[in-house]
Structure 1
């Protein structure tokens, strides 16, 4: 029996490619731009496995790859997977959780600090030559320490953020989650909260839920109306967990103080989006896990998942919905 054939659909570090090459015959896409559909479908026509990062795996993709056994996503989320179509063809899908937890938590705290202390706004203020006298209260921000952080979605990343908040900034941390996490409550001294109470009590509200039918527009006008007018909203989950029009309205009407965003309903964000015109909004280009070290670790984990899958083993990070 010959070696498995796989396709690497995005650029990966050399050591990742080398690892795959020890176990499989492979072809790769090595350009910075995303591989085109025709090129991709041509290359996967005889492949047993594909490593990719967010490319849509739908019925058309699957039909183009009749020998496919495993699709390895070099991301945590797998909203790009058509789970029903993959399950009908017994195709395993995998993702790369855990390795990015600390990196994303760093970015989240960057958003919290930048929003609270108006760091990007004040950077522009200085560079535009507007600093001509000592700072008056028109330039003041709000404190992060000793404030209340409400986390919606206490997954792995939420737990890391809670630890930073509690132990590093002396914040009171409350959280809302589908399931209570008594161990984490006891370990960190954080408290479980009712969803509406969290919105009403928190100075900073961090949204960290996955995107699914239940969480689509989880935060809408009703939820923004419950928040303090002094609260800051942070979203590092998925853009469509928030009704962006409602967020813009809440900011325009000063229902909340500000926002820190790494995700949007449409990505890349359109240049005429009103969020880009607001001084009290910090906007990042979906950088959650984007450090060289973390992305390399994610690519290696994706490669390990891929190799195990095409060799007939159950990958360590197989998507549960696709395992019999």
Structure 2
């Protein structure tokens, strides 16, 4: 009887994924829900495995690949981001890679909306007032007044699946105009009556600037001192895409000086942010711990797709969702 393939999983998977893998494979799982240590990653693949299931920021590099051995056929990452994978080295060895786009679009769009509302209506400061005794000690009629979405101009940098989903959710709020920038005009922009403009034009005209673009070599640090200087003083910046899109020192300066009104971040560099990071000291910066895909539905769909990618790779079949 042929032995079952061995799969190493770097963090516990939701039931939809782990149950599927267990039906056909011998599965080794990192025993805690915390991020796997480097040594844990090395020990997990040591002696050879047929497949690896990983998550950012678990590094899969030459050292991991060497220890995993010649039997390694497929890597399934439960993510859209790929920065943790040494793709050139993986491809050189003929190993297939699957990832999980599409299934987290709605969850991430909802998280973007949550941050937009939290920053525009100053919810973080409101929560603090309730818990710290500030409620009822209003300093005038403008106490904790925020910014309305109704009648605003919303700029979306990257009108892909998530960008479009965000715009569709914002439509009922009475946005006056959607602007978007990117590599090219998108035919689906007409679904939300969005206008394709240059990046600088978007920065200058938008009341809300939302980063929904994917990460590449050209847009690393895209939101920097120059970009923030072109935004309205009343503008709010939201990022649920990638932390490396933002120069965080420049963002801190822009928020601290009042060059922009507020920011909402679900992603950062590094993750987690150090406890003493300057952005954490600002009342006008709402930071969440990368919760974009954190719904039960999305995580189970991601886990299921990851398992299907791995099982297909083990059988020599086409992956349902291969990395391009």
TM (normalized to structure 1)?
Answer: 0.93
Asked whether the 8 Å contact 1:144–1:171 carries over to 2, the reply is no
Shift of 1:138: 3.5
Q: In structure 2, how many angstroms separate the alpha carbons of the residues matched to 1:115 and 1:128? A: 19
**Structure 1 pair 168–230 and aligned structure 2 pair: CA distance change class (3 A):** closer
Equivalent residues in 2 for 1:158-307 (5 A)? 158-182=163-187, 184-307=188-311
Asked whether the 8 Å contact 2:164–2:189 carries over to 1, the reply is no
**Structure 1 pair 129–75 and aligned structure 2 pair: CA distance change class (3 A):** same
Query: What residue in structure 2 maps to residue 62 of structure 1?
Result: 65
RMSD: 1.7
Shift of 1:35: 3.1
Equivalent residues in 2 for 1:80-119 (5 A)? 80-119=84-123
Q: In structure 1, how many angstroms separate the alpha carbons of the residues matched to 2:28 and 2:274? A: 34
Q: 2:48 aligned to 31, 46, 49, which one?
A: 46
**Structure 1 pair 282–171 and aligned structure 2 pair: CA distance change class (3 A):** farther
Q: In structure 1, how many angstroms separate the alpha carbons of the residues matched to 2:265 and 2:322? A: 29
Paired residue secondary structure (2:68): coil
Q: In structure 2, how many angstroms separate the alpha carbons of the residues matched to 1:139 and 1:243? A: 28
Q: In structure 2, how many angstroms separate the alpha carbons of the residues matched to 1:273 and 1:38? A: 27
Q: In structure 2, how many angstroms separate the alpha carbons of the residues matched to 1:126 and 1:301? A: 42
**Structure 1 pair 295–146 and aligned structure 2 pair: CA distance change class (3 A):** same
**Structure 1 pair 36–274 and aligned structure 2 pair: CA distance change class (3 A):** closer
Q: 1:71 aligned to 70, 75, 90, which one?
A: 75
Q: In structure 2, how many angstroms separate the alpha carbons of the residues matched to 1:87 and 1:118? A: 47
Structure 2 unaligned residues grouped into runs of 5+: none
Paired residue secondary structure (2:200): helix
Q: In structure 2, how many angstroms separate the alpha carbons of the residues matched to 1:238 and 1:71? A: 22
Asked whether the 8 Å contact 2:30–2:44 carries over to 1, the reply is no
Q: In structure 2, how many angstroms separate the alpha carbons of the residues matched to 1:38 and 1:139? A: 48
**Structure 1 pair 289–171 and aligned structure 2 pair: CA distance change class (3 A):** farther
**Structure 1 pair 52–187 and aligned structure 2 pair: CA distance change class (3 A):** same
Q: 2:141 aligned to 136, 143, 147, which one?
A: 136
Q: In structure 1, how many angstroms separate the alpha carbons of the residues matched to 2:277 and 2:29? A: 36
**Structure 1 pair 192–23 and aligned structure 2 pair: CA distance change class (3 A):** same
Query: What residue in structure 1 maps to residue 33 of structure 2?
Result: 32
Shift of 1:14: 3.4
Q: Residues 159-200 of structure 1: CA distance to partner in whole angstroms, max 9, x if unpaired?
A: 100111124443421111112112x12222111111100000
Q: In structure 1, how many angstroms separate the alpha carbons of the residues matched to 2:44 and 2:269? A: 31
Q: In structure 2, how many angstroms separate the alpha carbons of the residues matched to 1:148 and 1:247? A: 21
**Structure 1 pair 89–318 and aligned structure 2 pair: CA distance change class (3 A):** same
Structure 1 unaligned residues grouped into runs of 5+: none
Q: Residues 221-276 of structure 1: CA distance to partner in whole angstroms, max 9, x if unpaired?
A: 11111000010011111112111111111112111111111112222111222211
Query: What residue in structure 2 maps to residue 22 of structure 1?
Result: 23
